[in-house]
Chain A
Amino acid sequence: MRGTGLFIEFLHNRKGAAGLAIVAAFTFMALFAPFISPYNPTSTNPQAFLLPPSPSHPFGTDNLGQDLLSRDLYGAQISLIVGLAAAGVAVAIGLVTGLVSGYFGGLVDEVIMRIVDFFIVIPALVIMIVVAALLGPGLLNVIAVIGFLSWAPVARIIRSMVLSLRERPFVESARANNGGSLYIMFRHIFPNVSSVLYGNAMLAVSSAIFTQAALVFLGVGNVTSISWGGIIREAYTTGALTAGDMAWVVPPGIFIFTLIFGFILIGYAVEEIMNPRLRGGGSG
C-alpha cells in the first residue's frame, strides 16, 4: 500500500525519525505525569518556597513551594491537548473549505478565498488575545480561539492542490460518469491531498502549541491549568527571572522548544518525502 510505503520512507528519514521520537517522549510524559512526578504539582509548602535545585527538588520550588519539576512534567498535558485539538479544528475547517473552494471554483471559490486572504492577513495573535480575554479562561475556549483563527493557511494549500487535481483524467472521468460532488471530493480528491495535509497538520500543531504558551504567558487563556507558558509567566511576574532563577525559567522553555521542534521535524520530513528536491545533494 502507498500509505505504509510512505511511513517506512518516513522512518528512514533522519528528521522524521527524530521528530517522532521527540513527540513520543512527550506523549509518555503527559500520559504518565501522575506516576513519574515526585510531588503533587499543586501542593503548596510554605516551609519550602523558592528553594534552589537540590536532589529532592531537581528544579527547585516556586514562590508557593510547589515542586517545579512536577509542574514541568504536568505541563506536557496542556501543550499536547491544546496543540492537537486546536490543530484538529484548524485542519478540519481548512480541509473542508479548501476542498469546496477548489472543487466548485467560480464564485464560491472567489468568496472563500477572499475570506481566507482576510484571515491570513489579520494579526491573529491580537484577536486571540482579545477574544481569549473576553471569553475568560477555559480549555475549550483556548482550543476554539486558536482553532478558528488558524485554518486559513491549510485551506489555501488544499485549494491549490485540488485545483490541479481537478484537471487530472481520473477526476474528469469520474465527473463524466455523473459521480456526485461529495463522492468525487472524498473518494478521488481527498486521498490525493491527504499526504500534503499531514505535513501541514504537523506544522499546525507546532504553531498551536506555541500560541497556547504565548497566550498563557500574556495572561489570557487557560491561565488556571498547569502549563509551560504559565510557569514561565510566573517566573516573570514573581521576579524570579530578574533574580536569576534559571531552574525556574529554563526547563519549561526547553520543553516547549523541543516539542515544537519535534512536530516541525515531522512536518518537514513529510514535505521532503513529497518534494525530493529539498533534500538537495551537493551544489551544481
Chain B
Amino acid sequence: MIVEIRGLTVRYGPEGSGVRAVDHVSLDVDEGILYGIVGESGSGKSTIAMAMMGLLPHGASVEGGSISIDGFEVTGRKESQLASFRGRTASLVFQGAMNNLNPLMRIEDQVAETLLLHRMCGRKEALERARRSLELVGLGKQVWRLYPHELSGGMKQRAMIAAAVVAEPRVLIADEPTTALDVITQVQIVNLLRQLREKLGMTVILISHDFPLVSEASDRICILYGGKVCEVGSNSHIVRKPLHPYTAGLLNSVVSLRERREIMTIPGEPVDLSRPPKGCRFMPRCGSAMEKCSLYAYDSYSPEPGRLVYCEMYSGPDGNTEA
C-alpha cells in the first residue's frame, strides 16, 4: 500500500459553516498501479489531490482523517517537512496545468528546478535529466530553451508532466491532465502516463471526470460523488459489473454515447454541498432508492472480494460489513 487515505475530511470556509468538499474518504493504492479517480465536477477530486500534496489553499482545512504516502504522513506537517516531500515522494500535475508555468523562466529550467530544490544533483546534471525528462514526454531539443508563451497548450501540459516526473517520485498525481486538449493529444498523454508507470515503476493516480478515459487506462477505479466514495474496484469489475447505481448511471451514459443511442443521463441535480441530504447523498437522484437510504451512515460493504461499495442495497445478509 503506497497511498493510504483514511477518513479524509476537508472543509472550505470557517468552522461550523462552510462546505465539506471531501467527507470521510478512504482510499488504498497499491504500489506500481495506475489508479483512476472519477467523479463529476465539484465532487472533490482536486481537493483530494491538493490535500495529498499538503497544498490546500488558504481557507481550506483538513477536519479529520489521515493521508500517508510512501510512509510519510502528510496531514499536520510543517511547511518545511512538506517541502522535502513534494516533488520527490509525490508530485502533482495540476488541473489546467497550462497556466502553471512561470512566464519568465525557460522550460528546461523549470523542469530542472525540482532536482535542484532537493539537491539531488548539480546544475549541469539537473539540466541533462530535465532534458531527458522532456524527451520522455515528447518534447525535443527545439523546445528545451523556449519560454512558456512560445508553447502550445498541449506542449505546456507535457512540460508540466516532465517537471512532475523528473525527480522520479514514488507517486504521480495527474489531475485532469487532458482536459481542454484534443482527442489525439488526450490519448497520447494517457499513453504517456502508462509508460511512466512501466518504465519508471511509478504509482500513477489519474483524476478525471472522463469515465471512458479513466477506464481505458486504469488498473483500479474509485468513483466519487459529492465528496464521498461510491465504490472502488478493479477496472474490469467496475466496467463489467458496476455495483453502485451512480456508477451504473455513468456507465450507461457512456455506452449510450458510444452506441449513438439517445443519450441517457442521470436525472436530477448534483448535490449541493452546503446543504447535503441526510443519509446517502445520491439518494435524491437514485432510481433504486429505498426508505432506509435516508438513514445510511456510509458503511462500506464488500459483496465481492477486492471491491468496496458504499450503498445500502448491499447491506443485506450476504453483504459483509468492513470495519
* A interface with B by C-beta (< 8 Å): 281-282, 284
Contacts and interface: CB of A to CB of B under 8 A. Distances in A.
Interface of B: 57-58
Contacts of B57: 284
A75 B127 CA distance: 67
| Main SS class of interface, A | loop
A282 to B, nearest CB: 6
A239 B97 CA distance: 67
Nearest to B57: A284
Contacts of B58: 281-282, 284
A118 B129 CA distance: 50
A284 B59 CA distance: 10
4 contacts: A281-B58, A282-B58, A284-B57, A284-B58
A282 B57 CA distance: 12
Nearest to B58: A284
Nearest to B56: A284
A237 to B, nearest CB: 52
Nearest to B60: A284
Contacts, number: 4
A281 B59 CA distance: 10
Nearest to A284: B58
Those 4 A-B pairs whose CB atoms lie nearest each other, nearest first: A284-B58, A282-B58, A281-B58, A284-B57
B176 to A, nearest CB: 23
A22 B58 CA distance: 35
B222 to A, nearest CB: 29
Nearest to A280: B58
B101 to A, nearest CB: 21
A247 to B, nearest CB: 50
A284 B58 CA distance: 6
A282 B58 CA distance: 8
A114 to B, nearest CB: 26
Contacts of A282: 58
A11 to B, nearest CB: 24
Contacts of A284: 57-58
A265 B57 CA distance: 30
Contacts of A281: 58
Nearest to A281: B58
A136 to B, nearest CB: 52
A281 to B, nearest CB: 7
A255 to B, nearest CB: 41
A44 to B, nearest CB: 63
B62 to A, nearest CB: 14
B58 to A, nearest CB: 4
Nearest to B79: A284
A279 to B, nearest CB: 13
A281 B57 CA distance: 12
A284 B57 CA distance: 8
A282 B60 CA distance: 13
B181 to A, nearest CB: 25
A281 B58 CA distance: 9
A265 to B, nearest CB: 26
B77 to A, nearest CB: 15
A88 B58 CA distance: 42
A140 to B, nearest CB: 49
A220 B102 CA distance: 50
